[in-house]
Amino acid sequence: MRRSLKFLLLALLALTGTAAGVWALNVRDEPDVSEPVSAAAPEASQIARGAYLARAGNCMACHTTRGGAAYAGGRAIDTPFGTVYSSNLTSDAANGLGAWTAEHFWQALHNGKSKNGRLLYPAFPYTNYTQVTRADSDALYAFLRTVPPATQPNTPHALRWPYSSQAALWVWRTLYFSPGDTMSPEGKTASNPAQKSTAKPAAESALAATQKSASWQRGAYLVQGLGHCSACHAARNALGATDKQPDLAGGLIPMQNWYAPSLTSRSEASVADWNIAQIVALLKTGVAPRGAVLGPMAEVVLGSTQHLNGDDLTAMAVYLKDLPLTHAAPTTTTTAAAQSSKSPPALAPAPASVADRGAKLYEQHCAQCHGDQGAGVAGAYPALAGNRAVTLSQSANLTQIVINGGFAPATAGNPRPFGMPPYKLVLDDRDIAAVLTHIRQTWGNSAAQVTELEVNRVRATSTN
Ligand code: HEC
Ligand code: HEC
Ligand code: HEC
C-alpha cells in the first residue's frame, strides 16, 4: 500500500516535471506584451521598408483570398491534419491587428503566439520567420497598420483531434521549434537587443557562416527567414515538421502533389553550376536559360521574388550557389502515387507498345511547341531534352503541368509568358502516362516510366 502510494507520488512528480519542461521550452525568449499601443506615427521610410519585407515574406499569398480584400485572411490551407485558415492582418481593431502592439506582432513572428497567447499553427511559417530581426518585424508591423481595415472575421480552423488541441501544439513545439533557432546572420543579435541568446549546438555551422561574405549572410537571412524556401523545399515528417538535415533537399508539398526539388542536388534544382545572373533572372522574371518556374514556384516569383531589389536577389543567388551539395536525390520521399503502387516504377525502358503510343501522342500534341527533338524554342517553349524538371525521380510536377497546363508568371522581365494548354479533357490517364514516359526516355533523357496509377492519383487530388 505504502509502496504503491510512493510510486504514484513519483509518477505524479515525473509527470509534472515533464509538463514543466514542455512549458519552459514553450515560453523561451518571450517579449513583455504589457506595453500599450503606441500612438506615434511610424516614419514613411519604415512603412515602405515593411511593404518591401512583406513581399520578401509573400505574406499576401496566404493572407488574401482570390478576389478578397488585401490581407483580410480567410484563405484555406489544407494540411494532412485538416484545414487551417489564415488570419485577418488588416488594421481592423475587432478582427485584424488594429489592437495589436509591436510587441504582440513580434511575439507572433518570433515565438509563434497570437495576441492572447494562443499557440499558432506552423502552417503560418513562423518556424522560418522566427529568424527575422526585431527591426524588420517592427517595419512589417508599421506597414500592416497602414492596410485599410477589413471587417472580415477569422474563420475557425477545421482540424481533427488531437491536432486541434493546444496541447498538441505545445508538444509539437517542444520537439520542433525554438525561437530564432539556427544561425542569425546580418548581425541579428546586434540589431535586436530584446532577444536573449538562444545559442544551440548548431554553433559549428554558425561559426562557418560568420566567415562568409556580407552578401552570403544577407542571402541566408532571406532564404531561411522571410523567403521561407524550406517550407516547400524540405521534406516533412509525419507530424508536418520540415527536415533540417539536410536543409532544402527537396520535398513533396503536402496535399498538393507538387514536388519542390532539392536545391542541393545537381540532378534536381541545385543552381551551383548556374551563374549569378541566371539565378537572379529566374527569381526576377520566372524564366532563365536553363529553366522556367511552374505551379507553386510561379506563385513565389509572382508574389515575392520579382519585387526584390538586385542586391537582395544577388545575395540569395550567392547563398543558393553555395549550398552544400548532397550526392543523390533523397529516395525516401516518394509521391503518394508511387508509394501506394504495388510495383514501384523501375528504371527499365517502357515496353514497345507504350513507347510507340507515347511517341505518337507527342508528335500529335506536343511537338508543335516543344519541337520534334524536344529542343523547345528559346524564350518561348522550354526544351524537354536534357531538362532536369523532366527527369526528376518525382513525376508529380510533370503530371500536374500536362493535366492543368500552366503559365510562367507574368513579370516585368517577361510580361507575356507563353502558356502550356491543359490536357485534362484531351488525354486520359493512360495517354498521359505514355507521353510522359516518352519524354523521360527519349533524346538522351533517362528516367523511370510514369505509370497510369501515378497519373490517376495526381488527377484525383488536383484542385484546379
Ligand atoms: C504559407 C502561408 C502563410 C504565409 C506565407 C504567411 N502566413 Fe501568416 N498565417 C498563416 C496562417 C494559416 C495563420 C493562422 C495560424 C493560426 O491561427 O494558428 C497565420 C497567422 C498569422 C498571424 C497571427 C494572427 C493572429 O490573429 O493570431 C500573424 C501576425 C501573421 N500570420 C503574419 C504574417 C506575416 C507578417 C507574413 C509575411 C511575412 C505571413 N503571416 C505569411 C499563414 C501564412
Ligand atoms: C510554395 C512552395 C514553394 C516555395 C515557398 C518555394 N518554392 Fe521553389 N519550387 C517549388 C516547386 C513546386 C518547384 C518545382 C517547379 C518548378 O520547377 O518551378 C520549385 C522550383 C524551384 C527552383 C528550380 C526552378 C527551375 O526551373 O529549375 C528553384 C531554383 C527554386 N524553386 C528556388 C526557390 C527559392 C530560392 C525559394 C525561396 C525564396 C523557393 N524556391 C520557395 C515550390 C516552392
Ligand atoms: C502551345 C504550346 C505548348 C504545347 C502544345 C505543349 N506545351 Fe508544354 N509547355 C509550354 C510552355 C509555354 C511551357 C512553360 C510553362 C510554364 O513555365 O509554366 C511548357 C512546359 C512544359 C513542361 C515543363 C518544363 C519545365 O522546364 O519545367 C513539360 C514537361 C511540358 N511542357 C510537356 C508537354 C507535353 C508532354 C505536351 C504534350 C502533351 C506539351 N508540353 C504541349 C508550351 C506547350
Nearest-angstrom CA–CA distance, 259 and 389: 10
Check residue 123 and give its pLDDT.
96
Residue of minimum CA distance from atom 22 in ligand 2: 269
Q: Indicate which ligand has the atom closest to the C-alpha of 379.
A: 3
Q: Indicate which ligand has the atom closest to the C-alpha of 266.
A: 2
Nearest-angstrom CA–CA distance, 196 and 179: 10
383 lines ligand 1 (CB under 6 A): no
Nearest-angstrom CA–CA distance, 287 and 419: 13
CB 173 within 8 A of CB 112: yes
Q: Indicate which ligand has the atom closest to the C-alpha of 226.
A: 1
The best mutation among 129, 228, 297 to test binding of ligand 2, ranked by most ligand atoms within 8 Å of the C-beta, falls on 297
77 lines ligand 1 (CB under 6 A): yes
- Neighbouring residues of 440: CB distance < 8 A, sequence distance ≥ 6: 390, 391, 395, 398, 446, 447, 448, 449, 450
Check residue 211 and give its pLDDT.
87
295 lines ligand 2 (CB under 6 A): yes
57 lines ligand 2 (CB under 6 A): no
Closest ligand 1 atom, residue 140 Cα: 35
Give phi and psi for 457, each to the nearest 5.
Answer: -65, -45
Q: Which residue has the higher pLDDT, 283 or 6?
A: 283
CB atoms under 10 Å from CB of 296, counted, come to 16
Closest ligand 3 atom, residue 387 Cα: 26
CB 181 within 8 A of CB 130: yes
Q: Which residue has the higher pLDDT, 1 or 236?
A: 236
CB 399 within 8 A of CB 455: yes
How buried is 336 (Cβ within 10 angstroms: 0-12 exposed, 13-18 middle, 19+ buried)? middle
pLDDT tens figures, 247-303? 899 999 988 999 999 999 999 999 999 999 999 999 999 988 777 899 999 999 999
CB 265 within 8 A of CB 234: no
Closest ligand 2 atom, residue 269 Cα: 23
- Nine cell digits for residue 293: 518556374
* CA 49 – ligand 2 centroid, Å: 25
Q: Which residue has the higher pLDDT, 113 or 33?
A: 113
pLDDT tens figures, 327-343? 654 444 344 443 433 34
Query: How high does pLDDT run on average in the chain?
Result: 87
190 closest CA partner among 127, 135, 129: 135
pLDDT band for 35, please (50, 70, 90 cuts).
Answer: confident
User: What sign does the dihedral 260-264-266-272 (CA atoms) show?
Assistant: positive
pLDDT tens figures, 150-203? 999 999 999 999 999 999 999 999 999 999 854 444 444 333 333 333 444 456
